Structure 1
Amino acid sequence: MSGASSPCVQICVIDPVSRLCEGCLRTLQEIADWSRLSEAERLAIMTELPLRKIAPNEPSQAAG
């Protein structure tokens, strides 16, 4: 194994609404760029992924 961090779980299906991979929650652009990103950039994205699982496309709720 290369040691490069990856959230991939081999479930590669893009949700048509959220446009995120159902397995790893990355965007198509993030998946395409992954091999060119630095380890720090990868870790930054991976830190954000749990938030996408909670509310991937939930609109902001304005008071009112």
Structure 2
Amino acid sequence: MIAIMDELDPHTLRVAASLVRSRAANLKLDPRMDGLQRLGAHRTLTQLAIDLEVSADHVGPRRRRRPA
């Protein structure tokens, strides 16, 4: 059974933003796209990452690391 979350998890949103940013960074290595396609994809993915981070900031604070 799949449980439906009532609230978004800010940590999950930040991880998703990080994954999107890494994909955007790897676009220049994709030989299937020309320069304009890469530029458009890069801009779209960058905006998605920004939107995810803003949503994460709105949902909850960053996790703080415990001192060792």
Fold match by TM threshold 0.5: no
Give the shorter-chain TM-score range.
Answer: 0.3 to 0.5
Query: Higher RCO, 1 or 2 (CA under 8 Å, sep at least 6)?
Result: 2
TM-score normalised over the length of structure 1: 0.34
Greater radius of gyration (CA): 2
TM-score by length of structure 2 reads 0.33
Greater share of helix = 2
